Amino acid sequence: MTSGGTIRALVGNREFRGMWIGSTVSTVGDQFAAVALSLLVFERTGSPAWTALTWSLTLLPALVSGPLLGWVADRYPRRTVMVCCAWAQAALVGLMALPGVPLWIMIVLLVAVLMIASPFLAAQEASLPSVLPDKRYDDGVALFGTSVDVAQMAGLAGAGFLVTAASPQVALAVDAVTFVLVAILIQASVTFRPAADPLGSEHRETEDRKGAFALLVTEPRLRSLMGMRMLAGIAMVPEGLAVPLAADLDAVWAVGLILAIEPAANVLGVAVLFRLVRDPAKRERLIGPLAILSLAPLVLFALNPNLTWTIALLVIAGMAGAYHTPARSAWMRILPDAYRGRAYGIARTALRSSQGGGMALAGVVAHAIGSVTATLAGAGAIGLLLAGQATVAWNRARARTDPNTVTT
């Protein structure tokens, strides 16, 4: 991802190290839990539909809890929020791991665990700018992001083995232990800081009252960056159509490969970007061009590429998707500290909605027109127009505004 010296400097930061290790380990544990619960549902119901519904529940709570609970990370000390959330998640997952727990109770507990994840993640994300010095912040965000991607892949790969070799309850117990580890690591390593906005917006003067959502849609840089980040809803269309795409290529065996390309290529793209472009300001200038490049390969699906070219196009798109890392760090850097938790909750919901909505809409379109490749090409063309517009807006906003300040 970054140079060895940079990684050593990041890992040498006690606060960052604790948050990074905890996040990576708990991500692996979460994959264990997701696979374990899906297997339990299938074993007890024998229904693929209920199994798929249970898996979808891992995505839905964030759509609700992001905007509703993100404020907790601003109103209360962020270390306290993370520690309390981690202990609560450990207790809930521990209950899920008990033998004989009714399935409906396990699902309710799962929803609660995922709801609690929103204030935890908001507090974690909002803490990074305080934990890291400015010159290391972008590198820290990149290491955090790529580590989570790798942990997700490793967790899913190891989950099947653990669940079948031991039991779903053991996998859930392992996940509960990871939350305990997170709570201990954060309590021991992260410095206590007062709440960023302890009284909420009520303490501000009337002319200074601006909600997080209003700030996100009225501040030009934040608005344009959010627009480019939501292009992920189009970039992930190939994942949503992976099965029919592989079938059209007479290579059903390649479904897993198609699904794995995006996260793997993204990790590689971040590594290349941060290796070749060391200056954060220069990486910010590349956000727009890379966003465009992440969608341009989809247009070429109009040529009905074979499997080899399909893989090549998806690798290029995935690597260019590395722009999300500097966009994420620039977006958080621009935000005033008092808004970071709420803004993160809103952004997480928007991103999840765009991803899920984009894949669902693409599935409907592909069914209606009877062509997966035409759907991909059309999505790419629309994405290029949106990316171009967002790039112009981002460059214009950067030119007009001092990147170190924001009026609230």
Least confident of 51-60, 91-100, 106-115, 164-173: 51-60
Average pLDDT of span 71-96: 94
List, for residues 131-152, the tens digit of each pLDDT value: 988 888 888 888 888 888 888 7
**pLDDT for the residue numbered 204:** 46
> Cα separations (Å) of 107 from 20, 35, 169?
28, 13, 14
Q: How confident is the model at residue 254 (pLDDT cuts 50, 70, 90)?
A: confident
Kindly tell me if the per-residue pLDDT of 202 is higher than 60.
no
**pLDDT for the residue numbered 201:** 52
Q: How confident is the model at residue 4 (pLDDT cuts 50, 70, 90)?
A: low
| Contact by Cβ (8 Å): 232, 352 | no
Q: What angle do CA 213, 228, 7 make, to 5 degrees?
A: 100
Average pLDDT of span 300-324: 95
| Contact by Cβ (8 Å): 25, 182 | yes
Q: How confident is the model at residue 405 (pLDDT cuts 50, 70, 90)?
A: very low
Q: Which of 79, 62, 68 is nearest to 342 (CA)?
A: 68
**The amino acid at 67:** P
**pLDDT for the residue numbered 407:** 41
What pTM does this model have? 0.80
**pLDDT for the residue numbered 207:** 35
Q: How confident is the model at residue 242 (pLDDT cuts 50, 70, 90)?
A: confident
